[in-house]
Chains A and B, each alone.
Chain A
Amino acid sequence: MTSTLTISGLTKQFAGVTALSDVTLSVAPGERVALLGHNGAGKSTMMKIILGLIPQTAGQVTVCGAAPGSAAARAQVAYLPENAAFHPALTGLEQMRHYLALRGEPATAALPLLEQVGLGAAARRRIGTYSKGMRQRVGLAQALIGSPRLLVLDEPTSGLDPVSRRDFYALLDGLAARGASILLSSHALTEVEARTDRILILSKGRLVAEGPLADLRRQAALPVALHVTPRAGAELDLPGAVAVGGVLHLTCAQDEKLALLARITAMGDAVADLEVLPPSLEDIYSHFSQRAGQ
């Protein structure tokens, strides 16, 4: 099956400033890809190019087999902007009906879509009275219209509470299972960790790392942290360990992990508890961004 989104050698310059530099990537149908990067790393610029809102300086972009921004591409791509905004004088229902009409879908789908994002009760209130989280949900509801083949979501969970975030990712899982590709950017690294198939790290307009989280973890080869709780009165012989409130903290390289674990388990009853903490996505993210010179 061909890719939903293909980007090769993408470069974008604004008045001499390079926002994106030679970015190459592809997103397959049904794949959920997270785009990570600092503010100004080029995430939003890349999304706007994919959507055809701004032209690229160099490189090729193909969206659903068409040029970005062409009528064929726009019919198959849904977008959720970073701060979803709507006309304050319209109600949620009216705004959704308008978007449905623009996509050639029946207006009767408006209320079910709003109910799907938990806005059924507020559907007949003006958007001007909505909170930021509610506006974000209207944005999400409009991105679900029709059967988009590619969803481009810019910071989709900003302004959502933890429960709404979980519901949101459940919605995305459903869409991906039906073959939609999802490209989302986020600052909330922990939620991206469990909910995406692949991670892209942008730094200063360059793609500095790409792959499933496990691969990135291996590539980064960051030390593993272990927390060992000794049984009361027991003395553990662990060189390099630092006692923090009765718990011994120590780190080791990935390839030494199993040997160290074997040593600790050999201590038998002297150990009350053991926790192994793999490097978090935050650690991996800073590793790759720093290596790129951030």
Chain B
Amino acid sequence: MIRRILATAGCEFRIALRNRWVSIAVALMGLFSLVLAAAGSAPTGGLGVDRLSVIVASLTSLGVYLVPLLALLMSFDAIAGEAERGTLPLLLTYPVARAEVLAGKMLAHLAVLALACGTGYGLAGVAALWSDPGAVAGLPALVRLFWTSVLLGATFIGAGYALSALSRRPSGAAGLAIGLWLGLVVLYDLGLLAAVVADNGGWFTLNAFPLALLANPADAFRLYNLAASEATAVAAGVAGASASIPPWQSLASVLLWPLLAMAFAVLGFRRVTP
């Protein structure tokens, strides 16, 4: 089983390399991280926090948009693309379980994402340390941001596979993926904010709002990173709620979502008849 998964992962990684996904992802994360590292140095003095912790707070806000986007862009084609190219029927006659195929693809796509995040966050860390030796204090936050980003990526890669299985055409899968990204990453928070404002401190704000944040993997990722680091003070908007939600709850959400997404993907793929 391990050999089949690794063989699939190797194959997919090679394809990602040739399709320039690796270079695109690495360049994108590197560029944005460096820009934030340069721009994020301004507010340090007044807050009494080290430079890296502030950069981590900015990188969290970047990651919450960029990591799901990269994950979905890499994964939406996984099943629909194979179906359209006509490679799926042959693959499914091989003695390999569908869950193994997905696990192999997941491994490869996660490796690309980890490489991109590692490069971007690494560059930002090096830039911060170079200009402020006290930034060492922010290193644990940076490491935490890295592995939670990989988990957030795993959630959206799994979701991308599920959408890919659902739509069976790459164009349809791409549309669904963009819709999911817009919905969960952009519109969800706006909707929550609107509801909180309308509710004006009532039942929704006190009871439903924290749960709604935990239910969204992107929000849980942001909450956990901001709550666990000392940088809550620089957080704004919905992320400001992180003070009221204990970190173990947001961590549980961050850890559970990848498993759920993968389960959806396997269920969706099992229903595909080539």
Choice from A52, A84, A85, A94 contacting B14 with Cβ under 8 Å: A94
Residues from chain A with a CB closer than 8 A to the CB of B86 are 81, 83, 85
In angstroms, Cα B86 to Cα A103, docked, is 20
Closest-CB distance, B80 to chain A (whole angstroms): 14
- Does A84 contact B90, Cβ atoms closer than 8 Å? yes
Known: A81-B86, A98-B7, A101-B4. A90 touches B15 (CB 8 A): yes
- Does A102 contact B96, Cβ atoms closer than 8 Å? yes
B3-27 vs A: 1/0 string, CB under 8 Å? 1101110110011001100000000
Residues from chain A with a CB closer than 8 A to the CB of B4 are 101-102, 104
Residues from chain A with a CB closer than 8 A to the CB of B94 are 74, 99, 102-103
Q: Would you list which residues of chain B between 1 and 52 have a CB under 8 Å from chain A?
A: 3-4, 6-8, 10-11, 14-15, 18-19
A32 at the interface (CB under 8 A from B): no
User: Main secondary structure on chain A at its contact with chain B?
Assistant: mixed
- Does A53 contact B11, Cβ atoms closer than 8 Å? no
- Does A101 contact B7, Cβ atoms closer than 8 Å? yes
In angstroms, Cα B94 to Cα A142, docked, is 10
A89 at the interface (CB under 8 A from B): yes
- Does A74 contact B95, Cβ atoms closer than 8 Å? yes
A226 at the interface (CB under 8 A from B): no
Q: Would you list which residues of chain B between 109 and 142 have a CB under 8 Å from chain A?
A: none
Residues from chain B with a CB closer than 8 A to the CB of A74 are 93-95
- Does A89 contact B93, Cβ atoms closer than 8 Å? no
Residues from chain B with a CB closer than 8 A to the CB of A51 are 89, 93
Choice from A52, A86, A98 contacting B8 with Cβ under 8 Å: A98
Closest-CB distance, B82 to chain A (whole angstroms): 8
Residues from chain B with a CB closer than 8 A to the CB of A54 are 273-274
In angstroms, Cα B89 to Cα A98, docked, is 16
Q: Return the chain A residue nearest B15 by Cβ.
A: A89
| Inter-chain residue pair count (beta carbon < 8 A) | 70
In angstroms, Cα B6 to Cα A74, docked, is 20
A67-109 vs B: 1/0 string, CB under 8 Å? 0000100110111010111110110001001110111100000
A206 at the interface (CB under 8 A from B): no
- Does B14 contact A53, Cβ atoms closer than 8 Å? no
In angstroms, Cα B97 to Cα A52, docked, is 13
- Does A89 contact B3, Cβ atoms closer than 8 Å? no
B87 at the interface (CB under 8 A from A): yes
Q: Would you list which residues of chain B between 212 and 226 have a CB under 8 Å from chain A?
A: none
In angstroms, Cα B85 to Cα A52, docked, is 20
A250-293 vs B: 1/0 string, CB under 8 Å? 00000000000000000000000000000000000000000000
Residues from chain A with a CB closer than 8 A to the CB of B274 are 48, 53-54
In angstroms, Cα B92 to Cα A99, docked, is 11
Residues from chain A with a CB closer than 8 A to the CB of B90 are 79, 81, 84-85, 139, 142
Choice from A53, A98, A139, A142 contacting B92 with Cβ under 8 Å: A53
Known: A53-B273, A79-B90, A83-B86. A102 touches B18 (CB 8 A): no
- Does B95 contact A102, Cβ atoms closer than 8 Å? yes
- Does A101 contact B3, Cβ atoms closer than 8 Å? yes
Residues from chain B with a CB closer than 8 A to the CB of A90 are 11, 14-15, 18
Q: Would you list which residues of chain B between 59 and 96 have a CB under 8 Å from chain A?
A: 85-87, 89-90, 92-96
Residues from chain B with a CB closer than 8 A to the CB of A89 are 14-15, 18-19
Closest-CB distance, B103 to chain A (whole angstroms): 13
In angstroms, Cα B3 to Cα A125, docked, is 25
Closest-CB distance, B94 to chain A (whole angstroms): 5
Known: A87-B15, A90-B15, A98-B11. A75 touches B95 (CB 8 A): yes
Closest-CB distance, B6 to chain A (whole angstroms): 8
In angstroms, Cα B271 to Cα A54, docked, is 11
Residues from chain B with a CB closer than 8 A to the CB of A78 are 93
- Does B7 contact A53, Cβ atoms closer than 8 Å? no
Closest-CB distance, A94 to chain B (whole angstroms): 7
Most chain B CB inside 10 Å of its own CB: which residue of A77, A83, A89, A94: A89
- Does A77 contact B7, Cβ atoms closer than 8 Å? no
Closest-CB distance, B242 to chain A (whole angstroms): 42
- Does A85 contact B7, Cβ atoms closer than 8 Å? no
Q: List 29 A-B contacts (CB under 8 A).
A: A48-B89, A53-B89, A53-B93, A53-B274, A54-B273, A75-B95, A78-B93, A79-B89, A79-B93, A81-B89, A83-B86, A84-B90, A85-B86, A85-B90, A86-B87, A87-B87, A89-B19, A90-B14, A90-B18, A97-B7, A101-B6, A101-B7, A102-B4, A102-B94, A102-B96, A103-B94, A103-B95, A104-B3, A104-B4
Closest 10 CB pairs of A and B: A101-B7, A85-B86, A89-B18, A79-B93, A74-B95, A75-B95, A102-B94, A98-B11, A51-B93, A102-B96
